[in-house]
Amino acid sequence: SKQSVYEPLTESAAIALAVRLRLFPEGAPLVCREIGDGNLNLVFHIVNQQTGKGIIIKQALPYAKVVGESWPLTLKRAAIESNALRTFASYVPEYVPKVYYSDESLAITVMEDLSHLQIARKGLIEGKTYPLLSQHIGEYVAKTLFYTSDFGMNQQEKKQLAQSFVNPELCKITEDLVFTDPFFDHETNNFEDELREDVKELWNNDELHLEVAKLKRKFLTEGDALIHGDLHTGSIFASDEETKVIDPEFAFYGPFGFDLGQFFANLLLNALSRPEQEQEPLFAHVEKTWEVFANVFSDLWEQHNVEPYAKTPRLLQDVLHSTFVDAIGFAGCEVIRRTIGLAHVADLDGIEDKEERIRAKRHALRLGRSLILQRNSLNDIQEIRSLFLQAP
Ligand code: ADP
Ligand code: MG
Ligand code: MG
Ligand code: MG
């Protein structure tokens, strides 16, 4: 596309762009609303009032606005996002929005309007259970990981692909906010005074520091596959029938277990916000996601593995086992950082009764710590449920 100079779009400029790109029939009556949360990116929803048909234009801003301060953040993440959406669409078109157009210099991605679905975090908070969510996410993760790994694609081409997804600035956000700051007395942390003693225990726990350092090292160094990098329930649109994964601006070549870990953690954070008798569907989703992931990944391994060692006894089991252990550790880090770090989740912060909220957050901190410290001794995914129940 022709070189354009970056400038943040307004609602009317977004309409003009859609018209120029001929995304709607000539003369269609268009309305536009900016619907993003406004922290990192603008999201414009443009609708043809005659047909009701819409599109989304997502545009990166050159900074991240966080609690009053702002820091510069690369616009390149928009190209990472549109390229990741296209790459994932080649393996799992049913689980990602279609990309209609992208422009690296404007830092925009024009994509399918998913307004008929709901952000899974919001739905889960309202008590929805999304019966197919774990089936779909298990399949999405298995296919995207397998096909972008050294087992599922030409190993020379994989190195080229990995090069196009080098994403240091967004990775640093995760390195700091997920793996570092919450485990030290850092100014980005944010938690209620009532939690201070519990938090100090995490800051002074050498055994925990050792295990988090090992997990952080994996995130820094292991380039298994093209991962989404931000697979929380706010990055998933869902209904009872459909599931779509959006927002892969953190995508890079990272460890197999990371996306699963973040997804598990956000299911568990929702369970932490619910009364005991309503937690079961969340545990069932964690278990089913792992089962589907392991089955689909194993089938792909049997049928499409390009690595000469593919048929070596126990290699698949070894890969699945380390993915499982890492996912549980990553989940523990995510549960902790969403409780005391910079970016919280509405599941916990939305608990109105203060005592109840503090109790749930203490439970979260104990669960996170157990997931990290005991990840190597879990025999199967069902044991997450026992960890959860043992750490009230
Ligand atoms: P950010 O990277 O700023 O978090 P997201 O991609 O998560 O941006 O989008 C922010 C919000 O914009 C979503 O929570 C959703 O409400 C809306 N949105 C994003 N993409 C779409 C889409 N394809 N269709 C409909 N709404 C969308
Ligand atoms: Mg957002
Ligand atoms: Mg988002
Ligand atoms: Mg994002």
201-254 pLDDT tens trace: 999 999 999 999 999 999 999 999 999 999 999 999 999 999 999 999 999 999
Q: Which ligand is nearest to the CA of 237?
A: 1
Residues 330-361 as b/e (b if ≥16 CB within 10 A, e otherwise) read bbbbbbbbbbbbbebbbbbeebeeeeebbebb
Is 121 known as a binding-site position? Answer: no
Q: How confident is the model at residue 2 (pLDDT cuts 50, 70, 90)?
A: low
CATH number of this structure's domain 118-390: 3.90.1200.10
Is 133 known as a binding-site position? Answer: no
Q: What is residue 373's predicted lDDT score, i.e. its pLDDT?
A: 98
Ligand 1, closest atom to CA 39?
A: 3
Q: What is residue 391's predicted lDDT score, i.e. its pLDDT?
A: 79
Is 318 known as a binding-site position? Answer: no
11-112 and 118-390 share one CATH topology?
no
**Dist. CA 123–CA 117, nearest whole Å:** 10
Give the ranges where the chain is alpha helix by DSSP (H): 11-20, 77-89, 120-125, 133-148, 155-164, 168-177, 196-203, 206-221, 257-272, 280-304, 315-340, 346-349, 354-374, 383-390
Q: Does the model's pTM come out above 0.90?
A: yes
Q: What is residue 68's predicted lDDT score, i.e. its pLDDT?
A: 53
pLDDT at 308 over 90: yes
Residue nearest atom 6 of ligand 1, based on CA coordinates: 247
Maximum separation of any 2 CA atoms in the chain, in Å: 65
> Which residue is it, tokens 């994964």?
245
> Which residue is it, tokens 């801003």?
61
Tens digits of per-residue pLDDT, 56-90? 999 999 988 765 567 889 999 999 999 999 999 99
Phi-psi sector, 182: left (phi>0), alpha (psi -120 to 50), beta? alpha
Summarize the confidence of residues 321-332 as an average pLDDT.
Answer: 98
Average pLDDT, the chain: 96
Centre of ligand 1 from the C-alpha of residue 247, in Å: 7
Centre of ligand 4 from the C-alpha of residue 66, in Å: 13
Summarize the confidence of residues 83-101 as an average pLDDT.
Answer: 98
Say if domain 11-112 classifies as CATH 3.40.50.1820: no
Ligand 1, closest atom to CA 117?
A: 25
Tens digits of per-residue pLDDT, 257-281? 999 999 999 999 999 999 999 999 9
**Among 56-65, 154-163, 196-205, which is the least confidently predicted range?**
56-65
Q: Residues lining ligand 1, CB < 6 A?
A: 35-37, 39-41, 43, 56, 58, 97, 111-115, 119, 235, 246-247, 249
Q: What is residue 39's predicted lDDT score, i.e. its pLDDT?
A: 74
Residue nearest atom 10 of ligand 1, based on CA coordinates: 36
> Which residue is it, tokens 């603008």?
42
Q: Which ligand is nearest to the CA of 249?
A: 4
Tens digits of per-residue pLDDT, 107-149? 999 999 999 999 999 999 999 999 999 999 999 999 999 999 9
Is 248 known as a binding-site position? Answer: yes
Is 86 known as a binding-site position? Answer: no
Q: Which ligand is nearest to the CA of 112?
A: 1
The structural domains of the chain, with segments of one domain joined by +, span: 11-112, 118-390
Centre of ligand 4 from the C-alpha of residue 384, in Å: 28
Is 22 known as a binding-site position? Answer: no
Centre of ligand 1 from the C-alpha of residue 238, in Å: 13
Q: What is residue 4's predicted lDDT score, i.e. its pLDDT?
A: 77
Q: How confident is the model at residue 392 (pLDDT cuts 50, 70, 90)?
A: confident
Centre of ligand 4 from the C-alpha of residue 96, in Å: 15
Backbone CA torsion sign across 199, 364, 290, 162: negative
Centre of ligand 1 from the C-alpha of residue 141, in Å: 20
HEC-encoded secondary structure of 300-321: HHHHHCCCCCCCCCCHHHHHHH
User: Of 51, 49, 46, which is closest to residue 113 (Cα–Cα)?
Assistant: 46
